[in-house]
Structure 1
Amino acid sequence: MLPLNSLLRVAPLVAALLLTACAGTPDAGPAPAGFYRVAQGDTLWRIASKSGRSVAEIKRWNKLDNNDIQTGQLLRVTPPGGSPSSGSPSGSKPAPAPSKPAVDMQLAWPVPGQVVARYNGSTMKGVALAVKPGEPVKAAAAGKVVYVGGGIRAYGNLIVVKHNARVITVYAYNRELLVKDGASVQAGQVIANAGGSAGVPNDRVHFEVRVDGKAVDPTPYMPSR
């Protein structure tokens, strides 16, 4: 069991992971005029296209740093103080905005296996990487371990590493955890053995990148494959 000070330190993070593991479609009413309620499977490009706007406008009006949106989220689709009516002056469809990291940081893949499930911002908050039982799981960058344990059932045996004031990485579905809470780790250091634990898959590692506590697409931070 984690000491009390460690539990207090990571409680907001663990709460966020619990909400992710248990998340469903929010019980939300219809969007008011000039706004749009994000539905399951929506993307910013799709919402912009429906509204006759550009992705850049939607992001600017909603102060979005990246393309990550949540089911049930309310987005402004008209200019602040503008008319709810929409339309593209040029009649052309807006182009999707290129994905870019929310912070400038390069990470390494924790295992070499193929991506078998990709981030979608709603049902998948990270990526799933194929592994063989017992395969080593490595830290994506240098940092400090802020959580080790199996207290979140949907994540199995879990490790969370804090890299700086904004970025953490999450490693789930492990068979064996090889680091302790509070430990400093180096990029590429083996921190766990893959293979799953009771109730979670044993043929993959679940990997997340979180910026300011919010799950983001890990891909822009990783070397291309």
Structure 2
Amino acid sequence: MPIRAFILVLIFSLLAGCASRKGVYHTVKQGQTLYRISQTYGVDPTQLARVNGVSDPTRLRVGQRLYIPQASRVQTVPKTIKAAKSESAVAKLQPKVPPRSVSPVKTSSPAKSKPAPPPKSPTKGLFAYPVKGKIVKHFGERAGNINRGVEFAVPRGTTVMAAAKGRVIYSGNGIKGYGHLIIIKHRDSYYTVYGYNEQNLVANGVDVVRGQRIALSGVPPSGGQARLHFEIRIGKEAVNPIFYLP
């Protein structure tokens, strides 16, 4: 996909995320695997693991909640009694040996629309903190609303820094709900998003380095406490930034 077209797709995904917040949370039950869950909801298992920060898809916990992007309702994940008993026996006798039934998760390819295959598991410290402040809004679902990033409470006018080396592909205030916004493209299909800025200090097409000043923090368009909205995306899929920060 040409980079210009891909930028539009990414921006439209931000707009869609702000407007619809579509998605549900599935609670893992005994005998369910990430692969079975992904097949039931019709999503790519690698994408599902990446969005939820699951580094080892073979070891889901009963009661663990998985965010299913684009799903409109919670579904019942089918399983045979034989399969459930088999998984339980393997878990009891050999807890360190992952079930063979989930092997497709490791071999699945990322969506063809993504420029390059991303890493299969999060890397701590891959990105630096864009600001120093308390997280006041976490990634995921809260009170029925889905947040695709984290928000840091910081004084108005705080310097916002690039989380990693990359190129600015968007700098403006044309996306509703984000105020002055910056999107930076990094290697391996990673993107970082910086919203609610009072002022952007870099323009489209500018190359930046890790820790470089790119904006001054501001207040959300809806008002309230000054803060920075920060996202990390792989392609157009938002992932939990906590798994990638130091």
Matched, 1:190 2:195: no
Tell me the SS of whatever aligns to 2:12.
helix
Tell me the SS of whatever aligns to 2:140.
coil
- Residues in 1 aligned to 2:139 and 2:217: alpha-carbon distance in whole angstroms: 20
Gaps of 5+ in 1: 26-37, 93-99
2:20 to 17, 20, 23: 23
Map 1:115-134 onto structure 2 (within 5 A).
115-120=135-140, 123-134=146-157
2:193 to 170, 176, 184: 170
Give the superposition deviation at 1:142: 0.5
Tell me the equivalent position of 2:68.
69
User: 8 Å contact 2:196–2:221 — kept in the other structure?
Assistant: no
Identity level (%): 31
Tell me the equivalent position of 1:215.
238
Tell me the equivalent position of 2:127.
107
Gaps of 5+ in 2: 53-66, 92-118
Q: How many residues align?
A: 192
Matched, 1:11 2:8: yes
Q: 1:216 to 1:107 in 2, by over 3 A?
A: same
Q: TM-score, normalised by structure 2?
A: 0.66
Give the superposition deviation at 1:148: 0.5
Give the superposition deviation at 1:59: 5.3
After superposition, what is the alpha-carbon deviation per residue over 1:153-197, rounded to whole angstroms, capped at 9, x for unaligned?
A: 211110000012410000000000000000000100010000226
Tell me the SS of whatever aligns to 1:148.
strand
- Residues in 1 aligned to 2:10 and 2:198: alpha-carbon distance in whole angstroms: 22
Q: 1:156 to 1:73 in 2, by over 3 A?
A: same
Larger helix share, 1 or 2: 2
Q: TM-score, normalised by structure 1?
A: 0.72
Letter in 2 for 1:58: I
Give the superposition deviation at 1:201: 4.5
136-145 or 162-171, which deviates more: 162-171
- Residues in 1 aligned to 2:77 and 2:221: alpha-carbon distance in whole angstroms: 44
